[in-house]
Structure 1
């Protein structure tokens, strides 16, 4: 009996579909873990900040294809899970319709090649794989929704607290929020009066965090002092300034003028929409960074993203 193998003709379309269907590497990594059932193998891929999705996908598919005696079932599972991807979430990105159409075209090419591989694996196995992926995704989403709902309740209660107690409560909330989203915070955030300082790494970039909850709007001086802190770090460091009650309009304008932009601004209502489940925290950070890189504007409100 001949050994079953995946034809080389399907490997390039598989790589193209995977590279196009997910815009962010974190989303691609989560899908590959679930679709292959090989988290250790996925962890060995080069996910470094300078790596490209196509290189990562090529590395994985080449490993699976060259070791089919070991990974044949894994490769089949990846092919069949990939053709089930719905890339509709790409529409929310900048130039999203073009990205969606490109991904759909790549997926359709792969779909035209998968029938022999469906026959290699029973429909029951394929259905079980889809159920497992859907179950893991749903479980993760439910846990995230539950955690953020609890944090939302705490955030609303903070508004009636005294400043010092409110500051400590906000410190705990931010620590928990970063943990829930698997964002690497550099130790717990620390409070000084009504100001919270911390640091975290997200999408390959190091950030300093400054958070203020005071009655007054944050001023040009507040932003300038924090920007100076950030500029004293390495060049790839940015600052995220959270001002619960917002910023003076002139402070936003002046901080966004002249020199390299080193700050991203976020307000209490942004945090409210995250905790209310209207937008994911990691998506909000990505969109703020992308908008600032493209336009130079350091404040993109969550409400404007959702509009």
Structure 2
């Protein structure tokens, strides 16, 4: 990340002095710098064997300062990492360790004082990097989401082209199961209980739903179909709800029925399903809107705009 605010000369001098003081061996200092930098290749451009420690540090920092468009973030990271050092016990192994530790502490304190204004910048850099990583993850998720949705839509079209009505019905049930899995609705595949066939079930927003699905394009769903489904729902726990999905339209007696047996279900047709597959609304959001409308108005069918 490029910043407009250049690091001051006094802060650069303090950084050089602190780097020289915090490690006694050039090998340890070089390793510390390489581990700190995002772009450590510049470290290898310095002759660490022939140069004195100060010469190596001075050459390295000067080269980074000249190219702050490339190395400003790394310079700030060095300032941060050196300024955070509080343990100097690694200097105790060398002769005159007390003097070395005292000098290291003083140089680090001086760097902290010179670089106070840059620590906010460092925090901002960290937050910006976190935001960038979060945005990248969101982008990856978004791309993956759209790819999977496109696969589901293609699968739907393949089912539609199948001339075998019975196979089409089974394929539709499987397709719906995959769709519900994709939207984290915890679906269960079709199952049988005594005397009845259930096309599936799922859990959403702390409520359990039974699912009835019909690939019925040419003829309308009539109220008798809803009453049959309502009977299945009423035989379960009190708060169980139902979702009836039909590729074709619902008849007028379905959408306007006042029968209490239908008051525990909501209806979804092919146009609703296409809105989901085309990415205009998520399935869970669609169910929530339909359920809320039914709760507020008593109407079990709500056409999305």
Q: Which has the larger radius of gyration?
A: 2
Shared fold (TM-score greater than 0.5)?
Answer: yes
1:174 aligns with 2:146: no
Residue matched to 1:153: 154
Secondary structure of the equivalent of 1:208?
strand
Equivalences for 1:154-233 in 2 at 5 Å? 154-161=155-162, 162-186=164-188, 188-189=189-190, 197-214=199-216, 215-233=218-236
1:277 aligns with 2:274: no
Equivalenced residues, count: 181
Distance 2:300 2:246 in 1: 13
| Unaligned 5+ runs, structure 2 | 1-118
The question of whether the paired residues in 2 share the 8 Å contact of 1:263 and 1:298 is answered with yes
1:123 aligns with 2:129: no
The question of whether the paired residues in 2 share the 8 Å contact of 1:171 and 1:190 is answered with no
Task: Quote how far apart the aligned CAs of 1:140 are.
Answer: 2.1
Residue-by-residue CA offset, 1:145-170 (whole Å, 9 max, x unaligned): 11111111121222221212211221
Residue matched to 1:55: none
The question of whether the paired residues in 2 share the 8 Å contact of 1:196 and 1:212 is answered with no
The question of whether the paired residues in 2 share the 8 Å contact of 1:167 and 1:196 is answered with no
Distance 1:165 1:291 in 2: 34
Equivalences for 1:1-307 in 2 at 5 Å? 119=120, 122-161=123-162, 162-186=164-188, 188-189=189-190, 197-214=199-216, 215-254=218-257, 256-258=258-260, 261-302=263-304, 304=305
Task: Quote how far apart the aligned CAs of 1:301 are.
Answer: 2.1
Give the direction of change, closer, same or farther, for the CA distance of 1:144–1:189 in structure 2 (3 Å limit). farther
Distance 1:155 1:196 in 2: 21
Task: Quote how far apart the aligned CAs of 1:282 are.
Answer: 1.1
Secondary structure of the equivalent of 1:184?
coil
Secondary structure of the equivalent of 1:277?
coil
In the superposition, the TM-score normalised over structure 1's length comes to: 0.55
Task: Quote how far apart the aligned CAs of 1:181 are.
Answer: 1.0
Task: Quote how far apart the aligned CAs of 1:190 are.
Answer: 5.4
Distance 1:190 1:273 in 2: 28
Distance 1:220 1:163 in 2: 22
Structure 1 residue runs of 4 or more that deviate by more than 3 Å after TM superposition: 118-121, 256-260
The question of whether the paired residues in 2 share the 8 Å contact of 1:264 and 1:292 is answered with yes
In the superposition, the TM-score normalised over structure 2's length comes to: 0.55
